[in-house]
Amino acid sequence: AQSVSQHNHHVILSEAASLELGCNYSYGGTVNLFWYVQYPGQHLQLLLKYFSGDPLVKGIKGFEAEFIKSKFSFNLRKPSVQWSDTAEYFCALDMRFGAGTRLTVKP
Amino acid sequence: KAGVTQTPRYLIKTRGQQVTLSCSPISGHRSVSWYQQTPGQGLQFLFEYFSETQRNKGNFPGRFSGRQFSNSRSEMNVSTLELGDSALYLCASSFTGTGPMNTEAFFGQGTRLTVV
C-alpha cells in the first residue's frame, strides 16, 4: 500500500535560512511525487512534481526537490527562505498526501 | 476553465445527523478524491473515485461514504455525525488520479463542517 511520511511537523526558520523538508514514501512501483503548498487562507496548490528523468526538479518560487530512489525520499529544499514562504507544505505520492509540515518564517 | 467547486462552503450540524457534501471537478477530470483536513492530523485521505468507481479508500469508518456520477461530480456522505468529524473537507480532481499517467491534483476551497 502507498503511504507518505513527513517527519517534520512544524519548522521555524529565520529569513534567509536554508530549508529542507523531509518526505519519505512507501511504494514499490512507478512513483509520481508532488509537493503542494497551502498559504494561509488559500487553496492547496502545486509547488513541483516528479514523474521521471532528472531526479532534481525545480518548482515555483525557488523551491526544488530531489528524488532519491534508494532512500524512498523526495525532500523539498530552498536555499534562502522568505517570510512569504510561511505556509503548510504537503508531500504527495499520486493522490496520497503526507500529514504536512507547517513552516513559519520569522522576519 | 472553471476550477473545482465544492458546496456548501460552510455547514453546521448536530451530533447524530448526517451530511452530504458535493464536489464538481474540473471539466474533463475523471478522478475525484476526498480529504479531511484538521489542524492536528493534517490532510487525511478518505477515498478516490474514478469513472464512478471507488478506486482507493483510506482508513475511515463506514460512516464516511461517497459516490461519483457519470458527469464525474462526486458527493461525500457522513452519517451519524460525531464532534470529531468537525473539519475542512477538501475535494481534489485530477485527470487520471493515480498511476503512471497521473497529473497533479487541483483542489477546491473545501467545505468547513462544524458538528455541535
Q: Mutate which of B35, B102, B109 to test chain A, going by most A C-beta atoms within 10 A?
A: B102
DSSP E strands in chain B: the ranges are 5-7, 10-13, 19-24, 31-38, 42-50, 53-57, 64-68, 74-78, 87-94, 106-107, 111-115
Q: State the Cα–Cα distance between residues B84 and B20, nearest whole angstrom.
A: 17
**pLDDT, position B104:** 82
Under 8 Å between Cβ of A86 and A77:
no
pLDDT of A54 higher than 60: yes
**pLDDT, position B56:** 85
**pLDDT, position B98:** 64
**pLDDT, position B95:** 84
Residue B101: band (very low, low, confident or very high) from pLDDT cuts 50, 70, 90: low
How many pairs of residues across A and B have Cβ atoms under 8 Å apart? Answer: 57
Higher pLDDT, A29 or A8: A8
Question: Which tens digits make up the pLDDT trace of B13-59?
Answer: 999 999 999 999 999 899 999 999 987 777 888 999 999 999 888 88
Q: Do A30 and B102 touch (CB under 8 A)?
A: no
B48 touching A (Cβ < 8 Å): yes
**pLDDT, position A96:** 86
